[in-house]
Amino acid sequence: MSGYFKPERNITIFEAINEYLNEKSATGALSQTSFHNRRYELLRFEKFCIRHKITKPEDIHKNIVLSYLKSLKIQNSSKLGIIYIITGFMDYLVSEALILDNIAANIDKPKIYPPKTDYLNFNELEQLYQSEAQHASAKMVDRNLLLFSLFTDICLRVSEAINLKMKDVRLENRELWVTRKRNKVDRIPLNDDLADKFLSWYAVRPGFRGSDLDWVFLSSHGQQLRPRQVHYIVSKALQRAGIIKRKQGPHLLRHSGASLKARAGENLVMIQYLLGHENLNTTRRYLHFDWEDLREMVARSPKPGESSENPS
């Protein structure tokens, strides 16, 4: 590429990565987690290029991208994510006139066959809540049950729950102000059960170390809860309740809450809002049915031609 294309500036791939990420960070296009993930993947690609004597953006060619992808011993779903990361980076390089074409955009995408997703039915959720109420320690039970309800009742993400601050909980208005991806803030209504669970947690929260911190949820060590800790709390609770699914973490509860709402005939756009999805097609993945529901639907089908009167 460099033989016939002259870039606007003479910079290294490493410098271009930093410029790209700084721009995304400045405009708020990436969450902190996405920023770090993207930086990690792009720097890994940059090191691969250096090992092959490629240090400038204009020298990146399709074969080096393909070789890099081939070297990764990961699932197709993860590989697809990396293709999108490199494609986004190369879009930036094109816009800055550092390369001529986005060669990553034309790479064939791996086929993804998502497995059937597990979710809990209402009886299993009842079993989980009752088990946690009986077996969790007196100090942790109110915190844990509130967390579970935020996942099942209003379908929060783990990051949204653990990043809640005291000022985000507006009990007087029965509202929660939730910071979504890209720092978008949504207002979500609270039902009486959730409001009561917040009050129960607030009653014991002063007994925790770090209770002067602004985070709603605290660990036993008085720090903000971390995603891994929440995953452990939910997984342990499911195990105690005797509920075994392929994925045992908090996303199972979020997915279950959304699925039960959809099966109850709730408005899909409102479910999309609770989930914080920008695309309704993403929400559709949360729709499920069981065999008996399908059988009953078919049985309800109208039967044209069946009439007591003879049409002749």
pLDDT of residue 114: 56
Residues of the chain with pLDDT under 50: 1-2, 308, 311-312
pLDDT of residue 1: 45
Whole-number Å distance between alpha carbons of 147 and 217: 9
For residue 186, list its beta bridge partners. Answer: 178
Residues in the chain: 312
pLDDT of residue 292: 65
CATH superfamily for 13-106 is: Tyrosine recombinase, N-terminal domain (1.10.150.130)
pLDDT digits (tens, 9 = 90+) for 101-137: 999 998 998 877 655 567 898 999 999 999 999 999 9
Q: Please state the domain extents for the chain.
A: 13-106, 122-294
Tokens of 250: 């908090």
pLDDT of residue 226: 94
pLDDT of residue 110: 84
CATH architecture of the domain 122-294 equals: Orthogonal Bundle (1.10)
Question: Based on the number of CB atoms within 10 Å of its own CB, is 308 exposed (0-12), middle (13-18) or buried (19 or more)?
Answer: exposed
Q: What is the pTM of this model?
A: 0.61
